[in-house]
Amino acid sequence: MSVITLTSDIGLQDYLVGAIKGQLWQHCPGAPVMDITHQISPFNLPQATYICKSSFSYYPPRTFHIVLINLFDRKVDHVLLAEHNGQYIACADNGLITMIAGGTPAKVIKLPLHKTQPRDTFSILQRFAEAYRELQNGKSLTELGEPASGYIIKNNLQPMTGQDYIDGQIIHIDNFENVVVNITRQQFDEHRQNRPFSIYFRRDEVITQLCETYADVPEGHKLALFNAAGYLEIAINKGNAAGLFGLQGFTRDQLTSGYQKLSFYQTVRIIFG
């Protein structure tokens, strides 16, 4: 059977994650269920996008990814199921599907929710489980529902660029309080063009070289590198960069209000030349 993955902003403080897995095993007996994370910041689509894009690519074809993020941003009567890069992504109609895919997925269908059931996490999960079973029984995606039209489209959070600079935003702070910025190695190389560079954050903090590992600097020293997912990371060897420098992640409100509310606690600027 194909793998099912779970990603959510539910956290691990109460019964929900256990109950979700129990419901999946009732509806999909024998299905392997893998956690990606349940620690996404509430409603944080840019962070969810980073986590999903960085992890989904390691799974085999036909993996069924269930993403329970911001399920009730509005009153819902359907959810989305998409096919992207040979895998399936099931999520709410909240713009996340296009952010993860980096555009419009090859195929997207709407799965209508059952009219007689309450609009809650478990009714949504049951709908996803039904779709998973049908796919396992040999049905194609287009046999499960009508092609989606008019679903919400949102663009992934991109850095602002100029001829001599890139302004990135903090999209994730990991368990070690390393800070992940939405600047990829490809974007960095394209703008750098072999020029010297300076990475600025928190006004007076600057880094002028890239490391390959945390051990490239002495303990307690700051560094910058591109992590395994290909994104710029600000860290301290054996330290907590976010806490020490007072850095903060991008928030849900800023996704809708643009960059006006960004502060120097949330931005990283690279200047070339």
The token pair that represents 188 in the structure block? 């960095």
Query: Could you give the CA distance from residue 107 to residue 117 in angstroms, rounded to a whole number?
Result: 27
What token pair was written down for 262? 């960004």
pLDDT on residue 59? 97
Residue reference for tokens 């996404």: 40
Whole-angstrom Cα distance, residue 181 to residue 173? 9
Q: 215-259, pLDDT tens digit by residue? A: 999 999 999 999 999 999 999 999 999 999 989 887 655 444 444
d(CA 183, CA 122): 36
Residues 5-64: tens digit of each pLDDT? 999 999 999 999 999 999 999 999 999 999 999 999 999 999 999 999 999 999 999 999
Check if the beta carbon of residue 163 is closer than 8 Å to that of residue 129.
no
Report yes or no on whether pTM surpasses 0.75: yes
| DSSP string computed for 207-250 | E-S--SSGGGS-TT-EEEEE-TTSEEEEEETTS-HHHHHT----
Nearest Cα residue to 7 out of 89, 84, 86:
89
- Tell me the pLDDT tens digit for each residue of 179-221: 999 999 999 999 999 999 999 998 689 999 999 999 999 999 9
Among 236, 173, 248, CA closest to 207:
236
- Tokens 């996340």 sit at which residue? 96
Percent of the chain with pLDDT over 90: 84
Helix (H) or strand (E) holding 24: helix 16-27
Question: What is the pLDDT, as a whole number, of residue 252?
Answer: 57
- Residue 87's closest CA among 115, 110, 67, 72? 67
CA dist 176 → 83, 233, 234, 240, 244 (Å): 34, 12, 11, 6, 12
What is residue 156's DSSP assignment?
A: P
